[in-house]
Each structure stands twice: as structure tokens, then as C-alpha cells.
């Protein structure tokens, strides 16, 4: 039975993957779509349960009148069947209706809504560009996704369990009291009006305070996660005091926001008791007066008293529910600041998959300044022929990584086009584009999963033998065999820690190289692929990489020129432009910038002498006769 109601909704079903609306109600409507056909059923069940509850209170007044009008001998003789049927209803039908309501509310709604909201929000964020994540805290984004799901689910639950139930209860109570005497219903209606005005006054202020509180909570999470993620840097620079102050300031702001929220709660409690006092006095005074005139019975006064006491208890709960609704509204609005941001890079409608035949790459008059009007790339035209191996050289900021990022479509160029086999990469799907490109970057962080999971990320359908062979080619198999994590998992099953922190830089790099070897894409991008390796391992990996390059179109970025001297072409970049292009031998013979860099080698890396204004110095760990 439970499973039936749990499976009425699939929270992970395909959905219209457009940018979520920025406004609260428009966003909620997109989330309610799969639930809409069941909401009428939940509303109906709420009405039935509220009517049953008010009916029981009214019937308790009738029992008092029956007791007053009968003796113990005549009560069951005259009304025994009625009392028996009432008892059967109370122990059978009433629990069944309440059970049905909770099956919809808990198993169908609460069990699915939260995860649907989180899944859709997470899926939308995964489609954001790399710069989106670079401009925000991972902790804050995570907090917003998690809070958003809980807020939408709890708010919806409360509307049906609290507000809808209470509204039905008050209406049915007013109708029952009117049937006894219209004068009894007037105080109730007056109290409802006063109650609604007071709740609205408080709730609007709560929504504002809640949004600020939620924002402060997200910031604390962001700063704490940032410290934990970069704990090695925090400890390396021995500046825990600065880090503590950075987080402490956010926590103090959170405390201030929370205190302001709690002030509203205290104010709410006081005002609620005043309003409830008005209800009790307003209801009981006319009831007693009508009894004294013989207009109503003792049982009816008792029923009115029970309804009043019940409403007195419910009012606090309803107020709390309403305040929580406005609190959730603030949380949702705060979450939408991240979730409702349109994707910077999107697939064209109906975009086909990229079809790679020769892997020819063309950059046609590319300019990209990151919206600043300067810097980045400036009118670059460059063609990499099929199977050609091109090295990119230039000081930091020359535009090498920007060029690669445009090829991977992490950004779209502000002008110009990037073509692969004649296909503009903006006209094909991003997934198909990146499947055809293997990349080893200098940022060799890994996923917090097993070694196996990290390598198979390159090709999930690879066999165990194929995975191990890729690890062997990357000179990783031997050290993988020695790994063990704190939970006793060993070898390829050992987990590497967040961003792979349990491994050395060289070990992480070899895992990422194994992943790219397994992917076996026709286009290969190397961004300082061996920068984290020692000389002995680097020599072995270089041979592996040269083997991996065979038959592929390759773009390699390097500061160490020895790693690209054997490339077919070397492209020298400076200030976003191509200033030299040719083979290693041609560029040396030309005696230009590249030749000067080669001659002034010192340590194997490009430098940037800003103080003297000279060309960047460069040194290579290469034999003297390699030039």
C-alpha cells in the first residue's frame, strides 16, 4: 500500500529543462505540474477530515443533551443504536479517512516533492558554464539547492495539512454555530478577520527576515566549506586566525539575522495570546447569555465551548504554519537567486550531435574579452589540420587557456567561430562535443570516489581489463595496487578523498591521464599534462602521451618547451594574438621570440620579467644537443 502511493510520482522523470522562473509563484507552478492531478484529491480529503473533526465536537454537545434528557435506563433503550453507529464510525471510518489523507500528504507529496525540486535544481546548475561556478561558493550553491527542496515540500505540505484544514474547520464551525443561533457565529467571524490581519502583519515581516536569515546561513556554509576544501592551504600558511575571522564575521551576521527573526516570534506569541483571549471572551459571553434566555441548550453551550477551546489551540498552530510558509517563501526566493539564472552556454534547439571524421579544428577570427572589452583573445585565426600536433607557447595571460576553453565551449566567443570538421560547435550539442575531446589539465583534482570510478569516468562501459590497461599505460597500475583507505578498501576500490587529496600530485595526474587514455577521443588537449610528475615518471609518461597522440589532433599547452619541441607546429601567443607559427626548427631558424625564449632557458619554464620589461625567460630540462 505504501509503495503504491510512493510511486504515484516519479521525482526524477524527464521534464522541460528551461530556466526556472525567478518569481515565487511561477516557480512553484513548475514544480507542482506532476502533482496537480492529485492535489484535488488531497484538498477533498482535507475537507472530509475537517468536517469529521468539527462534527465530532458538535456531536459531543448532543451527547451532553442526551445525558441530561435521559436516565441510565432510558438512554440506551432510546438512543442505543445511534450511539453504536457513532462508535463504529469513530473507530473505523474516521481513521480510514485520516489515513488516506496522510498517505497522500506523506507518501505521495512529502516523499517525492523535496527530491524533485533538488534534482531539477541540481540538473540546471550542472548545465551552467564554468565561470558560473568560479564566481560563487560551492558551499553556498549546495546549501541553496538543499534548502530549496525542503522549503518547497514543507510549504506545500503545510498548505494542505494546516491552512486548508483550518479554513475548512473554521467554515464548518461557523455553519454549525449558525445552525444553533446566528449570534454565536458572529464573534467567530469577527475573530477570523482580526486573526487574518494580525497574521498578515507579522508574516510579511517574517518573509523579509527569513530571506536575510537564509542568505546569512548560506554564506556561513559557503565559508566553512571553502575552509575545509582548502584546508591544506589554511594550514600551510599558518594563518588560522585570518580564516577564523573570515568565518566568524559570517557567523556573527547569521546570529544577528536569527535574533531578529526570534524577536518576531516572541512578538507573535504575545499578540496571539491577546487575539485568542478576544476569541474566548467573544464566544462564551453570547453563548452563556443565550442559555440564560433558554435559546440554546447546555449541550450546545458545551459544543460552542469545545469549538472555542479547539480553535484556541489551533490558532497557535495555524499561526506557526503561516509564519513557516512565509519563512519558506524567503528561503525559496533566496535559492532562486542561483537556481533561476539562465545558462550562459546553451545548445541550439534541435542541435545534432557532433560528427567527427577528420578532427580538423578551425578558429576563425576569434575574439573574446570576457565582457571587458580588452584582454583575452583578439582576432585569432588558427587551423589545426587532422592528425596534427600543435604546441601553444606564451607567457601567463597570453590567451592559451582561453583558446582551449572556447574549443571545449566553456564559453562562446564574442565574435568569430570555432569549427570542427566544418561544423560550428555552437550548432551541435555540448555533450557530443566534449565526448570527442580528451583533456589532461594542470588542475588534476579527482572526484571523491574510488580509483575505479575516477578512471571509468572516461568511459563508463569499459571493461575491467581495459581500465587496468589504461592505468598501466599511465604508469599508475603499480602504485594503485598499494593503496588503502581508512575503511579498508584497497587497490582500485580505494577512495581518493575530496578532490583526490589522499594522493600525491603526481599520482592524481597519472589517474587523470589514465582516464583520458581510456576515453580515447579523436581530439586531445594537454594543458601542462606532466607538470606534477617527477623527471623519471615524466619521461615514461611522455612516451605514453606520444603514443596516445598517434592518429589524433592534438593541442598542447606548455611552459616547459621540451614537452612540445617535437610537435608538428608550435604557435607562440602574446596578448591574445598569434605572433609566431611554425615547427621547432623553423622558429629557431627565424630567430624571433621563440628562439629568444629557447636561448634564455633557465629551469625549463617560461617566466615573466615584469620589472625589466624583457621577454619572459625560459629554461628547459633537456639535453644540450636537443636544440
Per-residue pLDDT tens digits for 140-195? 888 889 989 989 998 898 888 877 877 787 787 777 777 777 777 787 778 778 87
Average pLDDT on 561-570 reads: 83
Max CA distance (Å), the chain? 123
Give the three-state DSSP class for 36.
Answer: helix
Is the four-CA dihedral 26, 32, 38, 42 of positive or negative sign? negative
Most confident of 23-37, 136-150, 250-264, 270-284: 23-37
pLDDT for 536 equals 63
| Residues 6 or more apart in contact with residue 441 via CB below 8 angstroms | 512, 527, 528, 529
Query: Does pLDDT of 353 surpass 90?
Result: yes
* Beta-sheet strands, E only, within 92-195: none
Q: What is the set of domains in the chain, with CATH numbers?
A: 2-339 (1.20.1560.10), 353-436+521-627 (3.40.50.300), 444-520 (3.40.50.300)
Lowest mean pLDDT among 26-35, 114-123, 239-248, 568-577: 239-248
pLDDT for 626 equals 33
How far is the C-alpha of 462 from the C-alpha of 454, rounded, in Å?
12
How far is the C-alpha of 294 from the C-alpha of 172, rounded, in Å?
24
| β-pairing verdict for 377-384 and 361-368 | antiparallel
pLDDT for 530 equals 67
pLDDT for 532 equals 55
Q: Which three cell numbers stand for residue 69?
A: 434528557
Per-residue pLDDT tens digits for 446-482? 888 899 998 998 888 899 999 999 999 888 899 999 9
Which is more confidently placed, 374 or 484? 484
pLDDT for 195 equals 77
Lowest mean pLDDT among 92-96, 233-237, 354-358, 469-473: 233-237
Query: Does pLDDT of 59 surpass 90?
Result: no
Which is more confidently placed, 551 or 602? 551
Give the three-state DSSP class for 245.
Answer: helix
pLDDT for 540 equals 66
Per-residue pLDDT tens digits for 289-307? 878 877 777 777 777 777 7
pLDDT for 421 equals 94
pLDDT band at 40; cut points 50, 70, 90: confident
Average pLDDT on 56-72 reads: 76
Which is more confidently placed, 363 or 75? 363
Which is more confidently placed, 93 or 269? 93
With pLDDT > 70 as the criterion, what percentage of the chain qualifies?
Answer: 91
pLDDT for 259 equals 84
pLDDT for 621 equals 34
pLDDT for 605 equals 47
pLDDT band at 549; cut points 50, 70, 90: confident
pLDDT band at 569; cut points 50, 70, 90: very high
CA atoms within 13 A on the CB side of 63: 12
pTM of the model: 0.70
Where b means 16+ CB within 10 Å and e means fewer, 579-609 reads ebebebeebbeeeebbeebbebbeebbbbee
Q: How open is the CA angle 98-107-146, to the nearest 5 degrees?
A: 130
Per-residue pLDDT tens digits for 527-541? 877 665 666 666 666
How far is the C-alpha of 397 from the C-alpha of 375, rounded, in Å?
8
Query: Does pLDDT of 612 surpass 60?
Result: no
Query: By the 8 A CB rule, do 187 and 276 touch?
Result: no
Average pLDDT on 546-561 reads: 84
Query: By the 8 A CB rule, do 549 and 541 touch?
Result: no
pLDDT for 620 equals 31
pLDDT for 16 equals 86
Amino acid at each position: 500500500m505504501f509503495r503504491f502511493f510512493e510511486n504515484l510520482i516519479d521525482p526524477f522523470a524527464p521534464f522541460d529543462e528551461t530556466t526556472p522562473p525567478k518569481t515565487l509563484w511561477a516557480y512553484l507552478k513548475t514544480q507542482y505540474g506532476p502533482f496537480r492531478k492529485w492535489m484535488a484529491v488531497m484538498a477533498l480529503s482535507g475537507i472530509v477530515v475537517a468536517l469529521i473533526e468539527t462534527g465530532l465536537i458538535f456531536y459531543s454537545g448532543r451527547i451532553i443533551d442526551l445525558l441530561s434528557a435521559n436516565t441510565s435506563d432510558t438512554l440506551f433503550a432510546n438512543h442505543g443504536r445511534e450511539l453504536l453507529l457513532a462508535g463504529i464510525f469513530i473507530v473505523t471510518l474516521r481513521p480510514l479517512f485520516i489515513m488516506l489523507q496522510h498517505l497522500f500528504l506523506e507518501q505521495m507529496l512529502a516523499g517525492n516533492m523535496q527530491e524533485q525540486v533538488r534534482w531539477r535544481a541540481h540538473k540546471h546548475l550542472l548545465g551552467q558554464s564554468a565561470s558560473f561556478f568560479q564566481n560563487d561558493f560551492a558551499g553556498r550553491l549546495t546549501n541553496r539547492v538543499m534548502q530549496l527542496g525542503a522549503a518547497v515540500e514543507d510549504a506545500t505540505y503545510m498548505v494542505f495539512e494546516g491552512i486548508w484544514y483550518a479554513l475548512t474547520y473554521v467554515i464548518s464551525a461557523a455553519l454549525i454555530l449558525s445552525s444553533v443561533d446566528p449570534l454565536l457565529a458572529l464573534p467567530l467571524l469577527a475573530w477570523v478577520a482580526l486573526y487574518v490581519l494580525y497574521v498578515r502583519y507579522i508574516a510579511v515581516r517574517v518573509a523579509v527576515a527569513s530571506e536575510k536569515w537564509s542568505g546569512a546561513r548560506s554564506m556561513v556554509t559557503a565559508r566553512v566549506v571553502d575552509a575545509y576544501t582548502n584546508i591544506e592551504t589554511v594550514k600551510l600558511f599558518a594563518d588560522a586566525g585570518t580564516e577564523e575571522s573570515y568565518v566568524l564575521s559570517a557567523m556573527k551576521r547569521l546570529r544577528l539575522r536569527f535574533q531578529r527573526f526570534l524577536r518576531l516570534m516572541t512578538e507573535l506569541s504575545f499578540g496571539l495570546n491577546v487575539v485568542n483571549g478576544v476569541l474566548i471572551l467573544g464566544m462564551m459571553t453570547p453563548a452563556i447569555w443565550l442559555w440564560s434566555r433558554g435559546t440554546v441548550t447546555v449541550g450546545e453551550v458545551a459544543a460552542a465551548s469545545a469549538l472555542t477551546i479547539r480553535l484556541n489551540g489551533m490558532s497557535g498552530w495555524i499561526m506557526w504554519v503561516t509564519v513557516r510558509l512565509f519563512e519558506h517563501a524567503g528561503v525559496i526566493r533566496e535559492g532562486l537567486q542561483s537556481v533561476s539564472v539562465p545558462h550562459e552556454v546553451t545548445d541550439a534547439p534541435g542541435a545534432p550531435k557532433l560528427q567527427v571524421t577528420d578532427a580538423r579544428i578551425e578558429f576563425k577570427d576569434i575574439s573574446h574579452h570576457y565582457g571587458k572589452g580588452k584582454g583575452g583573445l583578439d582576432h585569432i585565426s588558427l587551423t589545426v589540420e587532422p592528425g596534427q600536433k600543435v604546441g601553444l607557447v606564451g607567457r601567463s595571460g597570453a590567451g592559451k587557456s582561453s583558446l582551449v576553453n572556447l574549443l571545449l565551449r566553456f564559453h562562446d566567443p564574442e565574435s568569430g567561430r570555432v569549427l570542427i570538421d566544418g561544423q560550428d560547435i555552437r550548432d551541435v550539442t555540448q555533450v557530443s562535443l566534449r565526448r570527442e575531446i580528451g583533456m589532461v589539465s594542470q588542475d588534476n583534482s579527482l572526484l571523491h570516489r574510488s580509483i575505479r570510478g575516477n578512471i571509468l569516468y572516461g568511459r563508463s562501459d569499459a571493461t575491467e581489463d581495459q581500465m587496468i590497461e589504461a592505468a598501466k599505460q599511465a604508469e599508475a597500475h603499480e602504485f594503485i595496487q598499494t593503496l588503502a583507505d581508512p575503511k579498508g578498501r584497497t587497490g582500485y576500490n580505494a577512495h581518493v578523498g575530496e578532490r583526490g587529496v589522499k594522493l600525491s600530485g603526481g599520482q592524481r595526474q597519472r589517474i587523470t591521464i589514465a582516464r583520458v587514455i581510456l576515453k580515447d577521443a579523436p581530439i586531445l588537449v594537454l594543458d601542462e599534462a606532466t607538470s606534477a610528475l617527477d623527471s623519471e615518471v615524466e619521461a615514461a609518461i611522455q612516451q605514453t602521451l606520444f603514443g596516445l597522440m598517434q592518429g589524433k589532433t592534438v593541442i598542447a599547452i606548455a611552459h616547459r618547451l621540451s614537452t612540445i619541441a617535437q610537435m608538428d607546429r608550435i604557435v607562440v601567443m602574446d596578448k591574445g594574438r598569434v605572433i609566431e607559427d611554425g615547427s621547432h626548427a623553423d622558429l629557431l631558424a627565424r630567430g624571433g621570440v621563440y628562439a629568444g625564449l629557447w636561448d634564455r632557458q633557465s629551469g625549463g619554464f617560461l617566466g615573466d620579467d615584469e620589472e625589466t620589461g624583457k621577454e619572459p625567460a625560459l629554461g628547459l630540462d633537456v639535453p644540450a644537443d636537443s636544440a
